[in-house]
Amino acid sequence: MKKLTILLLSVWLFNQVANSQGCVIVRNISGFGQYNLTDNGFSTSDWQLNITNRYFKSFRDYRGTSELKFPADSINTVRSFSTEFSISRFFRNGWSLSLNIPVSINSRESKLEHGGIANPFHKTHSFGINDIRFTVYKWLLPPTVKEKFNLQLGVGIKLPTGDYQYQDYFYRKEDSAVLAPVNPSIQLGDGGTGIIAELNSFYKVNNQVVLYANLFYLSNPRDINGTSVLLGRIPTTPGQISQLKAGAFINSVPDQYSLRTGVFYNLDNISISLGIRDEGTPVYDLIGKSNGGRRAGHNLSVEPGLIFKLKKASIYTYVPLIVSRKIKQTVTDKKETELGIIPGPIVRQGGFANFLVFTGIAFKL
């Protein structure tokens, strides 16, 4: 009963405090790249439950590295809250298994996607399970209490369990609505079966100072998923015809990545960290084609963190402060440029904000 009470209290607490802004490019994987170094590679527990929360509010658009200044009635605001439940099984020989189940509730507020700027704002929503991941890990060196260095490899699969064709109503007039797939920024999944590769490492300088590095890469071999981004409309303008011919109105199934490195300073019950985080979506997938509509790019962050260690749990918070953003020209952008319907190189804008917040708790069961 005591463990259950702590668990329920922790979920409620982090639902209240995880307020931040984030990048629309990387979505639906709430805790990836977060690796808890409080015990390094050694653990005496057979099971661990990790609950990670991620919330962002995005209303700033960028093209390349430049922010686009839009009037207030032309702004699209995305709000996304995700809670990821991760259950891990540890074995004494350095192997471990992890099952990650993320759940999201999202909304997108806009005038332009509905009746236009002369009409009121309307919201579209999505709620449900995202794409589930299953990963197998192995420490390359035998884990011990006194180890100074270790390297962990992870290989897994991402299943297309999230609804990538989630629909809601779009208002063309105040008295009429059209049911259509929601904007890709709030879709629950991407429709692809993905291949996961992870690399985690640490080096103990001394008992207080620990260096860390994490790499996460999700490869999605599927090209496009067949979901339209037209929101129930028919293309009519030159720009829309250009996008239609280039194939930009069907959602891509893109790769994603996250890279983190930094240093931990350990005290008795608290660990303080400072690192660099880079995450995003590449222009070209590692395997397969890269057609369809995607927002390729990345954001670079300075990432402070704090871990509070209890006897059977660790409470953590990471706050990546975004210092650099870039939206890149995609395959469909290049096709539009070649068509020449609109003069000049085509680069679509993407949504960012100023910072992210990850909060969570890890239980040793």
Tell me, letter by letter, the H, E, C secondary structure of 110-177.
ECCCCCCCCCCCEEEEEEEECCCEEEEEEECCCCCCCCCEEEEEEEEEECCCCCCCCEEEEEEECCEE
pLDDT at residue 265 in the model: 93
The CATH number given to whatever domain includes residue 256 is 2.40.128.130
Q: How many domains does the chain have?
A: 1
For range 197-222, the mean pLDDT = 92
Per residue in 118-159, pLDDT tens? 889 999 999 999 999 999 999 999 888 788 999 999 999 999
How would you classify residue 230: left for phi > 0, otherwise alpha for psi between -120 and 50, otherwise beta?
alpha
pLDDT at residue 70 in the model: 81
Q: Which residues contact 132 (CB under 8 A, 6 or more apart)?
A: 99, 100, 101, 102, 158, 159, 161
Q: Which tokens belong to 239?
A: 């720009």
Residue 5 carries which DSSP code? H
Per residue in 304-323, pLDDT tens? 999 998 888 889 999 888 89
For range 41-68, the mean pLDDT = 81
Domain residues for the domain of 213 are: 2-364
For range 230-251, the mean pLDDT = 88
Residue 36, pLDDT above cutoff 70: no
For range 43-67, the mean pLDDT = 83
If you compute the radius of gyration of the chain from its CA atoms, what whole number of angstroms results? 21
Residue 2, pLDDT above cutoff 60: no
| Three-class SS state of 270 | strand
